[in-house]
Amino acid sequence: MSYAQKIAVLDEIRVRPTSFSGRSVRGTVSFSSNGNEKSFEVLYSYNSDITINENIAGLLMAMPAINFTLFSRKLVLDFPVTTVDLMHIREFVRINNREVFVNKLARRRYEFFRKEYLPAESDLTEENSNGITKVETTSLIKESIPETPGFGNKKVAVLSSGGKESLLSYGMLREAGAETHAFYFNESGSHWFTASTAYSYYSEKFSNVHKVWANVDRLYRFFLRNLEPIDQEAISRKTDTYPVQLFIFPVYAMALVPVALKQGISSMVLGDEFDDPREMPPYHGITHYYGVYDQSHDFNSFMSRYFNSKGIDLKVWTAVYPVSGSVVEKALVRRYPELFRLQRSCHSCRSINGKMVPCGRCSKCMGIVMFVLAAGGDPTDILYRKETVNNLGELVAKERMRLDSDELNLMKAKLNLSSMDISELEHVEGIHILPDEKAPFEKVPEIFRDSLQKIISQYSKGIYHLKAGQWKRTED
């Protein structure tokens, strides 16, 4: 028995929509093992009218289930799908299986799995990383997209949260003349705490603010509680990452589709900031995305092609991909202070006297405090305690920071937390031309490209391209 066969402890995962009317969508996600079946009802509830059919309703149910396909021999789409759906979902499953294998089981950050299910050195192969999951359907149909209004090039939906990237993207696109739609995904758990401050403000100040409530986080717990390879005691401890789930943004993106169809939205903007490609080498010869496939350009392009091949005129892109998190923070602090004050990037926020307050202890918080200080801002404006700011050096030294090494070292140097030579780190504050680009911001639709680059250029320092493995400044 191969490792991929050993880890596939479920016979099948089955996805079936059961109702889709008004503003709600329901369905079941079930799994079976050794003749025993367990089922969970998934619910999406929108605060505005949507356009949907059975095919799209089923896809809403399928996206969260893909997180766990490495552990199943089969994924059954028990609803009408097209050959386009099958092709794309099979690729999603392959990519997700590989990401979970490499980043959760092999080069793991935490010990979430029972030791007998961890891969041995000889198991670290591409074949095992792909898993053995077969994707099948009970009904193959021709494409049938609900009738929609004519799409407008300047109708943009920003996948919104309390994070700096979505806040800045929203501010820049409004300034650039887009018809901005903010879309919030409200999971039933405390994850919503990070977004609720921004959502309340947006709902009061702006039009076209959409939200869907969903119980997918409970679906995730349902799987985790019932998967034999999971160490139940380990997943009960508080950490800064999920035990398995790496296929998160596809859930959000697909949930936005019924709103986009109703509103005639032609752009879906995600908050993907710069990731240094030099820090993503293969693992034991296995190419992967370091657990952030759904925050990569490959994902955006894949989703855009998927939607287009289904007849949905919806392009997925990001406005901040060529710049680092510190540049994003600087632009937000200095240009949109009213949006900056809504920022809650911590995934462990808690309510204190009616306000959502970041924990001030996790690696995410440490990075944000560093960015804000480097930008000349005040972390207490976004409810960090002065104690956290004053003890930043000690806290950063203790924490396993999750920043690109160049960015982390530059922030330490700028805040006098180290005396490192920063001459090779200056690219962090610049605009990056990625290896597959010839000019900056090529991945942004032309209608917004110049406006966004003009704004970002005011808070960055030069344009950089990769040459012989080093970021070199492009002469103006």
Residues in the chain: 476
Q: What is the pLDDT of residues 342-366, one digit of tens each?
A: 999 988 899 999 999 999 988 899 9
pLDDT value, residue 239: 79
What local confidence, expressed as pLDDT, does residue 418 receive?
87
Q: What is the DSSP string of 387-441?
A: HHHHTHHHHHHHS---S-HHHHHHHHHHTTS-----TTTGGGGSEEE-TT-SSTT
CB distance 370 to 207 below 8 Å? no
The residue behind tokens 């759906």 is 85
DSSP letter for each residue of 281-327:
--BTTB---TT-GGGSHHHHHHHHHHHHHTT---EEEESSTTS-HHH
Of 326, 323, 336, nearest to 441 by C-alpha is 323
If phi over 0 gives left and psi between -120 and 50 gives alpha, with beta otherwise, what is residue 152? beta
Q: Summarize the confidence of residues 157-182 as an average pLDDT.
A: 97
Q: Check residues 399 and 183 and name the one with the higher pLDDT.
A: 183
Q: Does residue 151 have a pLDDT over 90?
A: no
pLDDT digits (tens, 9 = 90+) for 279-330: 888 999 999 999 999 999 999 999 999 999 999 999 999 999 999 999 999 9
Distance of alpha carbon 475 from alpha carbon 464, whole angstroms: 9
Tally the C-alpha atoms within 13 A of residue 179's C-alpha that lie toward its C-beta: 11
Pairing of strands 74-81, 134-140: parallel
How is the chain split into domains, by residue range?
345-429
Average pLDDT for 358-384: 95
- Return the H-helix or E-strand segment holding 59: helix 54-65
Alpha helices in 147-273 (DSSP H): 164-175, 193-205, 216-226, 232-235, 249-263
- pLDDT digit string, tens, across residues 32-52: 998 899 999 999 999 999 999
DSSP notation for 429-465:
GSEEE-TT-SSTTTTS-HHHHHHHHHHHHTTS--EEE
Q: Give residue 190's region: left, alpha or beta (phi > 0; psi -120 to 50).
A: alpha
Q: Is residue 100 within 8 Å of 70, Cβ to Cβ? A: yes
Helix (H, G, I), strand (E, B) or coil at 169: helix
pLDDT band, very low/low/confident/very high, at 71 (cuts 50, 70, 90): very high
Residue 237 · residue 243 · CB < 8 Å: no
Q: How would residue 139 be classed by pLDDT, with cut points 50, 70 and 90?
A: very high
Q: Which comes out higher in pLDDT, residue 363 or 451?
A: 451
For residues 198 and 162, the answer to whether their CB atoms sit within 8 Å is yes
Torsion of CA 118, 108, 249, 286, to 10 degrees: -80
CA–CA dist 372, 384 (Å, integer): 11
For the chain, give the percent of residues with pLDDT over 90: 83
For residue 149, name the pLDDT band (cuts at 50, 70, 90): low
